Copies of this chain bind each other. A is one copy, B any other.
Amino acid sequence: MPHFLNTEDADFEDRFRALLSLKREDAPDVAASVADIVQDVRTRGDAALIDLTRKYDRFEVTPATLALSKAEIDAAVAKVPAAERQALQVAAERIRAYHERQKPANESWTDRSGAMLGWRWTAVSAAGLYVPGGLATYPSSVLMNAIPAQVAGVERLVMCVPTPDGLANPLVLLAAKLSGIETIYRIGGAQAIAALAYGTETIAPVDKITGPGNAYVAAAKRHVFGRVGIDNIAGPSEILVIADGDNDPDWIALDLLSQAEHDQSAQAILITTDPTFAELVVDAINQYLQVLERRDIARASWESNGAVILVQNLGEAAALADDIAAEHLELCVANPESLAGNITHAGAIFLGPWTPEAIGDYVAGPNHVLPTARSARFSSGLGVLDFMKRTTITRMTPGALADIGPAAETLAAAESLQAHGLSVAARLRRLNE
């Protein structure tokens, strides 16, 4: 049974808080093992990668075979059916077109004092993309991570994907090829993150690591944060659908289930003004839970974490949506733009009934790597800026320094930083000579 809440119930506030703080994921604390693995890779380099890959992926690599050869990639890619190849190309093109628009502009101006001020954006030199092996190997995620890096102008883009028992997903390799990835290493887990951050004899270190992974990968990213840049730590997927009664219950049921089928820790929430519609959606979900291929996962997610919240009006819905700060927010109401204007926190918004969230997972164009677990309150989905950095620029003239230098001297003195003040004073003295 999912959670049923009604804002008119006396205990609503308590039950809503309980829903928000539901501990959906019981992530084991693997920080200590991860620290050991990172240290092992830093100390022994390739030899550690070889041992750990034998242990965890039951696969024998050598320094020479850590990277997939061009022939291996081409052979695998050749197996991809034409329809899938074409669909991936459509996705890659649309994702690229969207992200091209995110490229930031450099700025430069001269202020009243005559100082030239501004900033410029440059790409990180090298980025590493982590792709999980096994069940959750998603070619779409390769595109979503790699294309923003490519658009940013990252010079060297590499990928790590574990190949348990030697198996690689051809569609993942094709996605890598379509998005400018230069080298693919068949390693995974914390050892792959360590190799990307610190480098080994064979693997050159990168400056930024992105991509999802299991608890070991997440802990390793947290561990190397600061040595390299990382993206957000990804949690289980979430969707919040706000729908009025004027919707097809079947569509909404499938939208909720398309998150629930990801993972039993995923969360799907429906907020509606219409109790009859809510019942129809729940009935439709129950029907699908009989037949879906991933029904066991979807049922576990829906019954533990799913929720239906009845509200009296869309104003209430907007306020709850801001508290939930959902990764995906679908607005199936008469005027979705207006409702969106009343909601501040969400990773991605899907407007109107013709915009199923799944279209954003693949081909709409916006990134599907989005903030989870209420982190949309303070962070954004992946984008071009994640692979760029801004350098500020200042050029003073003698006149500008004469104008604002004395204020700097005063503040330096107040902070007891004498050399700071003297570095300004020595120059101003020249002007008075």
Q: Which residues of A contact B (CB under 8 A)?
A: 83-84, 86-88, 90-91, 94, 97-98, 101-102, 107, 109, 111, 115-117, 119, 122, 124-125, 138-140, 171, 207-208, 222, 225-226, 228-229, 232-233, 248, 250-251, 254-255, 257-258, 260-262, 288, 292-294, 298, 336, 340, 344-367, 370-371, 373, 375-381, 383, 385, 389-398, 400-401, 404-408, 410-412, 414-424, 426-427, 430
Contact = CB atoms under 8 A, between A and B. Distances in A.
A416 to B, nearest CB: 7
Given A355-B396, A395-B336, A377 B294 contact: no
16 contacts: A139-B411, A207-B377, A207-B378, A208-B378, A226-B232, A226-B375, A229-B378, A261-B419, A294-B419, A349-B393, A354-B395, A359-B396, A359-B401, A361-B408, A363-B404, A380-B391
A345 B122 contact: yes
What 6 A-B pairs come out closest when comparing CB atoms? A229-B378, A366-B392, A87-B410, A351-B395, A254-B423, A358-B420
Contacts of A396: 352, 354-355, 359, 364
A125 B258 contact: no
Nearest to A388: B380
A90 B404 contact: yes
Contacts of A117: 98, 364-366
B251 A392 contact: no
A349 B84 CA distance: 47
Copies of this polypeptide in the complex: 2
Contacts of A101: 107, 109
A431 to B, nearest CB: 10
A208 B84 CA distance: 42
Given A288-B419, A347-B391, A359-B424, 12 more contacts: A87-B411, A87-B414, A88-B411, A97-B111, A207-B378, A208-B378, A257-B423, A346-B391, A349-B392, A354-B427, A358-B420, A380-B391
A414 B378 contact: no
A411 to B, nearest CB: 5
Which of A391, A406, A408 has the largest count of B CB atoms less than 10 A from its CB?
A: A391
B294 A417 contact: yes
B248 A377 contact: no
Contacts of A225: 222, 225, 233
Nearest to A230: B378
Contacts of A208: 378
Contacts of A380: 389-391
Contacts of A430: 248
A394 B355 contact: yes
A419 B257 contact: yes
Nearest to A121: B380
Contact of A419 (B116, B139, B292, B350): B292
A177 to B, nearest CB: 16
Contacts of A292: 418-419
Given A125-B377, A417-B261, A393 B222 contact: no
A359 B408 contact: yes
B354 A414 contact: no
B94 A404 contact: yes
